[in-house]
Chain A
């Protein structure tokens, strides 16, 4: 059954590692939903969080093939509901002086922030899971969204378990 899987990958922080990982996905025919990279506390190690769409066979192959990359140190397929996942969204929406208050109200309900205001626009920042981000986007749609910028998902396991 096709579904989304979130994979946490620790890699050596070398030039070209990201292209190896991305290249592996394209040539083996795996579909990346989102991908986010950043350094860990150890500057020699980066973490890539990948969301992949596929069945159990696909996710097994993804992790086994990733494991074969010499630069890949560790892989963990995160169990659903066992992790906290967040995406960051920056959203620029049309806002006249009259509409601003209403937008601010919505932003407050979602515990999002206003990070920029101009005469005709408001820019909103929200960090949340995908559903919440989609909900806020939906509510702001009627005002006229000008642009959105969204990161891939980053995820961390709940409780004391770590991928280190």
Chain B
């Protein structure tokens, strides 16, 4: 069938089940926007292109679909970069489509021209500059497969305006043929045998669950292995929600902001099974030597991660779910002496820090929210103290979802991500944990929430400072506070009310339950501003 390049793109998006895209138009991408009018695909107009990628990321993480975002050439495209890099670090399947100047003008520095394929190469799983419309349908189809298979990640397609307008004979007969790309892997049975032998012999086995547990759908098999063979589990930030936080063998998050019991267990265990995580430097560093004197078994779908960050004795390449199933069938039920503590609260939360008058403790607020929110509520967080409090203090169930920027640590992620989460899950509660710094990095997306008439609960921990960096300056820079004071913040409640959102301010412990109930039962977007002490720590000593 003869159609325009733009129509072909829309047709393939529909074919891959895309029902919503997040974007911002401009001249070069206009032919695509024109064809979008006749499509069933919903377009969500964000207020800044970075928000489009973050929204697509939130959508992808909570729907098991590929998130799609669109921007125009030049600044539209470059505004996507932080979002793309964020998705790349956290392995989120995203297809980003950008308009480009005419092919005849490429390289001439014309108006709104930017080399976006060059600029995003380090942060994309793959990207394309499409110069010939006859390749366009194949490329868009490939992009979806690349983004969602193997280790997921963002794929960018840059399409010059004349290519979008040119006619192509669209044949619906795609053959995926990239000789250098494989996404179905044979399981190495010998390595599995070796791994199982090591675990069966272990006196103190421990599992570290990474984000791959969530993306491969391995929560259930993880729980079976842990429960039936009495193996405790700690998780990385990306795997929060892999097990119920109330489950007694769940030791909580590990790493620099994790629980003491989890970190102790990592250093004391004799066999360590890392499942679907790259073990980033915030989780466990090679230099700490925590991995020494033990057998390390590492499962990852990306073979480059095996041995990259920590030394590995047995590397298992493949999908975490397939490998865990294979391991499960070969493990022996062994009575092991209990060797770990399973008190998984952040012990030092009982430290001597006292909340000042007029402030609330994030711990009390988050505990209350966790207990009153729905069992399938979706949480998003920003980056900073709010993220660490959320990760450590919200007790999740496996039916919950936790959406956060882990690898990149991108402030301004949580609010636009919540837009994608809510649009993909209209029937679920979406709760954003905010800080006053992060909120003001994506504040404009309140406009998107308003226009889309979304019901999002925004919990703002306002300490009038960039708390995480301030805490660092407290601990490591002799309390010399530089550039971290937000001395003049707007009145957030008034600001939200100008968007038509409700809100209230929490300044004392007695009102927490009442205010949280009010927020959760309110129909529509609601701001719960919690005034927090500047010195309220995330790391307790």
A-to-B contact residues, CB < 8 Å = 11-12, 15-16, 19-20, 23, 27, 57, 60-61, 64-65, 67-74
- Taking a contact as CB atoms under 8 Å apart, the answer to whether B180 and A70 are in contact is yes
User: Do B129 and A64 have beta carbons less than 8 Å apart?
Assistant: no
Determine the chain A residues whose CB is within 8 A of the CB of B303 once the complex forms.
Answer: 64, 67
B122: chain A residues at CB < 8 Å are 23, 27
- B178 close to chain A: CB less than 8 A: yes
B2 within 8 Å of A (CB atoms): no
With A16-B121, A67-B303, A70-B178 known, 8 other A-B pairs at CB within 8 A are: A11-B180, A12-B180, A27-B122, A61-B308, A69-B126, A70-B126, A70-B146, A72-B180
CB-defined contacts of A60 to chain B, threshold 8 Å = 307
CA distance A22 to B126 in the complex (A): 15
B375 proximal to A (CB < 8 A)? no
Of B125, B302, B307, the residue contacting A70 (CB under 8 A) is: B125
Contacting residue for B180 out of A16, A19, A57, A71, CB 8 A: A71
Query: Closest approach, in angstroms, between the C-beta of A102 and any C-beta of chain B?
Result: 50
User: Is B483 an interface residue when CB atoms closer than 8 A count as contact?
Assistant: no
Distance in angstroms between the alpha carbons of A71 and B128 in the assembled complex: 11
B179 contacts chain A at the CB level, 8 A cutoff: yes
On whether the beta carbons of B181 and A19 are closer than 8 Å, the reply is no
Within 8 Å by CB of A19, from B121, B304, B308, lies B121
By beta carbon, the residue of chain B nearest A11 is B180
15 CB < 8 A contacts A-B:
A15-B129, A16-B117, A16-B118, A16-B121, A19-B118, A23-B122, A27-B122, A64-B308, A65-B304, A67-B180, A67-B303, A68-B302, A68-B304, A69-B126, A70-B178
B121/A70 in contact, CB under 8 A = no
- Whether A67 touches B304, Cβ cut-off 8 Å, given contacts A16-B117, A19-B121, is yes
Interface centre among B118, B121, B178 (most CB of A within 10 A): B121
Please give the distance in Å from B69's CB to the nearest CB on chain A. 20
Q: Which residues of A contact B121 (CB under 8 A)?
A: 16, 19-20, 23
Chain B contact residues, CB within 8 Å of chain A: 117-118, 121-122, 125-126, 129, 146, 178-181, 302-304, 307-308
Q: Which residues of A contact B307 (CB under 8 A)?
A: 57, 60
Contact of B304 among A12, A20, A27, A61 (CB under 8 A): A61
State A15–B495 Cα separation when bound (angstroms).
49
Max chain A Cβ within 10 angstroms of own Cβ: one of B146, B179, B307, B308: B179
Closest B residue to A75 by beta carbon equals B180
Q: 6 closest Cβ contacts across the A-B interface?
A: A64-B304, A73-B180, A70-B126, A73-B179, A72-B180, A70-B181
Residues of A within 8 A of B302 (CB): 68
A72 to B180, CA, bound (A): 5
Across the interface, which residues of B come within 8 angstroms of A16, CB to CB?
Answer: 117-118, 121, 129
Q: Which residues of A contact B180 (CB under 8 A)?
A: 11-12, 67, 69-74
- A70 surroundings in chain B (CB, below 8 A): 125-126, 146, 178, 180-181
Question: How far apart sit A69 and B181, CA to CA, in the bound complex (Å)?
Answer: 8
Query: How far apart are the CA atoms of A12 and B129 in the complex, in Å?
Result: 15
Which B residues are in CB contact (< 8 Å) with A27?
122
> Given known contacts A23-B122, A68-B302, is B179 in contact with A12 (CB within 8 Å)?
yes
Q: How many Å lie between the Cα of A65 and that of B308 in the bound state?
A: 10
Task: Please give, as numbers and ranges, the residues of chain A lying within 8 Å of B181 by CB-CB distance.
Answer: 70
Assembly CA distance A20 to B123 (angstroms): 11
Residue of chain A at shortest CB distance from B308: A61
In the complex, A74→B178 CA distance in Å?
A: 12
Q: Name B182's closest neighbour in chain A (CB-CB).
A: A67
Contacts of A19 in B (CB 8 A): 118, 121
Closest-by-CB residue of B relative to A20 is B121
Name the residue on A nearest B117 (C-beta): A16
Which A residue's beta carbon lies closest to that of B126? A70
- Which residue of chain A has the shortest Cβ distance to B311 in the bound complex? A57
B451 CB → nearest A CB, Å: 37
How far apart are B181's CB and chain A's nearest CB, in angstroms?
Answer: 5
Closest-by-CB residue of B relative to A28 is B122
Chain B positions within 8 Å of A74 at CB level: 180
Shortest distance from the beta carbon of A71 to any chain B beta carbon, whole Å: 6
| Interchain CA distance A68-B146 in the complex, whole Å | 11
Which residue from chain A places its CB closest to the CB of B303 in the assembled complex? A64
Residue of B nearest to A73 (CB): B180
Report the separation of the CA atoms of residues A19 and B122 in the bound assembly, to the nearest whole angstrom.
Answer: 11
Q: Which chain B residues lie closer than 8 Å to A68 at the CB level? A: 302, 304
The answer for the CA separation of A78 and B504 in the assembled complex, in Å, is: 67
Nearest-neighbour CB distance to chain B for A68, whole angstroms, equals 6
Q: Which residues of B contact A11 (CB under 8 A)?
A: 180
Chain B nearest CB from A5 CB (Å) reads 16
The residue on B at minimum CB distance from A71 is B180
CA distance A136 to B181 in the complex (A): 44
Residues of chain A with a CB closer than 8 A to B126's CB: 69-70
Residue of A at shortest CB range from B179? A73
Q: How far is the CB of A24 from chain B (nearest CB, A)?
A: 8
Residues of B within 8 A of A72 (CB): 180
Least CB distance from B199 to A in Å reads 25
For the complex formed, measure the closest distance between the CB of A162 and the CB atoms of chain B, giving whole angstroms.
16
Once bound together, how far apart are the Cα atoms of A67 and B117, in whole Å? 19
Most B Cβ at <10 Å: residue of A16, A19, A23:
A16
